[in-house]
Structure 1
Amino acid sequence: MKAAFLLFLATAAHAAKLSADSVKYSIISAKGEPSTKSFVPTEKPSSEVVTLSGDQTLKLSLQVVDQATGKGVQPEQAFLRFYDEQSGEEGIQPIRVTSSGKAKFDLSMAKPPASLPPTSTAPLKVTLLLGSSSHSPQKLELFNLHVPASHPAPVHPDEVKFHLLPELAHTFRPDPKLPPRAISALFTGIILVVPWSILLGLWLSVSPQVPRLFSPNILPFTASLGAFEFLLYRYWVDLKLGDVLTYGAFLGVVTVFTGRHALASIADRRLGSQK
């Protein structure tokens, strides 16, 4: 029973509607001659037309009432909406409603509020929007307002930066190409042959005693040095730096051990010859 009663109250509160009573507006010119007119707002598009010149002021007054009881109501929200159907611009102006439901709004074209949208030759539809926790939302059409067309807004110096820019077309350099293998092999051969030719020529000029490069104790070290020369050749032809570093690290370890063994064998030979 209690639940049904609460449901009834909620339904009744939701069904309650707000309305506007004693709606009238006055147009006051610069000479102070008022022109007052009363009308009844509806939920349908209004045929009421109000025209303001640049030196006139519009004074609007109304009372928000309960549609069923006719008593004044103070809604939680009350706004005037100015809407230009031609441009789609709109502005929302909150209005103050007293506890008895009375509200007033003044619009001076000499100093229009910031809520008034940019205007053209098309009229502004003025709508009253009401919201209350104990009533259904209400939207009442008041009148069509003709005001002087506003001046175009000044162009901000940085406005052009927010325009759509043309699509960027990136031009990339072609991938670097390796020289022909024949040329690479030719210069590699020159690098390998010329130093050794100079070295052999200098050796022949001084007639040195060639050490035992091909003895079992020294040959692994000589082969390690030759492997390094071959690795540099392969790097010039097609190997990448990462591969060269990997193979070079392995050959370096091998060369260290073979070199130590070669030096030890030479030292043993020299010590044996001195005895």
Structure 2
Amino acid sequence: MSFGAEHLSIVSFRAPFPSRRVARKGASLPNKHHHNDITMRFSQSFTSALLLAAAGVAQAASSWSFDEGSLSIAAKKGSDAVKEKLNAKSPLSKPIALGSADTLKVTFTAKDNGRGKRPHQAFVILKEQDSGLEAPFPLTLKENGKAVVQIAQKEIPVNLLLSDKPLKASIVIASFGSATGFIAPAFDIEITTDPNVAPPQYEKPVRYGKRPEIHHTFRADPQSPPKIVSLFFALAVVATVPALFIGWLALGANVNHVTKAIGAAPLSHATFFGSIVAMEFVFFMYYTSWNLFQVLPVIGVVGVMTILSGTKALSEVQSRRLAGER
């Protein structure tokens, strides 16, 4: 061990006889005060390291739990039919019966490393044993860690109510930070139903997947009426044309303006009249052989021609009316 340039290097060794120290000639031994100072510094450093290690172990060992837990079943009249104490280390040995009109109440104090504290999350989870389905019920929390939740039988999902086995109830406590969360079984619930009331029915939800193939049978194409009926109505329509002209003559229609109208706007009047005839022809073809997809494009073209030519033709007629020509 070396203490500095001005001090002597001391060598110790073991032998069958008592150990002794041999100093080289001309050197001096370290003084007693210097040795005590080194020992004190080493003790302080070791103590600080030990305290830091203990603090780290305490921080790593921090975990959530609960205390002062209790469970009660409130009947419809308001009295507590059952009251049990809950232990974080072991669940209740017997299942708790929950009737159709009863309300389950769970209270406890959440603790972080033994101190009452509000966690970020706290739930009572009910689990069906066969299917593994779970239903979480969050607890109402206070800053001091006090937690409470009330669960009525009507609030439990139907698929859990229909279970033949008791429901497993677990308590879950967790929060942000390095503290380890808590999850452990607390008690079992045995659902009892009212025999005078029909049991609830569970309907499976609709799930996306392969469905059975749909075979659609189209009905037969519509048949045309007998030709004699069609011929009768066609003649009835044609017979109205002479009646139309006779009515015009009886009402005093001025046929002399035909030449004047054609002379003023020959293309507009001819196109307008031709589009009306073409529209009637389209209806005739639809009745006899065309389908809807063949008729619609032709009607669109003829309709545009009717609007454009009719606007100019009727404007020409209006100009003659404004001029006093009848």
TM, length-normalised to structure 2: 0.42
Bigger Cα Rg: 2
Greater RCO, 1 or 2 (C-alpha within 8 Å, sep 6+): 1
